[in-house]
Amino acid sequence: MRTKMRLLGFRGAAVKPLNEEAAAELGAELLGEALVFGVGGLCVYLEYLRQAGSARRREEHLEQTLSDLRQGLERLQSDLEALRA
């Protein structure tokens, strides 16, 4: 209960002890919320990793395409020079 009061911004407030059933219920609620928050955070992190990997693969593909186009252009330029000669 003290933790919950601190999270809500109440500093130094005296909190009377809870009975065992209420303390167990509050503990289970906090544990459940922490679990949901952890799973949500993990999902966000994994989605970030997936998006970053996708962007990296897309960039690598574009670089490869650009490299292929440059090689093709060089080949065409050399062919043009050969035809001019």
Tens digits of residue pLDDT in 16-44: 777 888 889 988 999 999 999 999 999 99
Q: How far apart are CA 29 and CA 3, in angstroms?
A: 13
Tens digit of pLDDT for each residue in 69-79?
A: 999 999 999 99
Q: pTM to 2 decimals?
A: 0.58
Please, are residues 14 and 28 in contact by the beta-carbon 8 Å criterion?
A: no
Instruction: Return the amino acid letter for 10.
Output: F
The radius of gyration computed from the CA coordinates of the chain, to the nearest angstrom, equals: 31
Question: What pLDDT is recorded for position 13?
Answer: 64
Kind plus residue range of the DSSP H or E element containing 20: helix 20-84
Question: What pLDDT is recorded for position 15?
Answer: 67
Structure tokens at 64: 């490869």
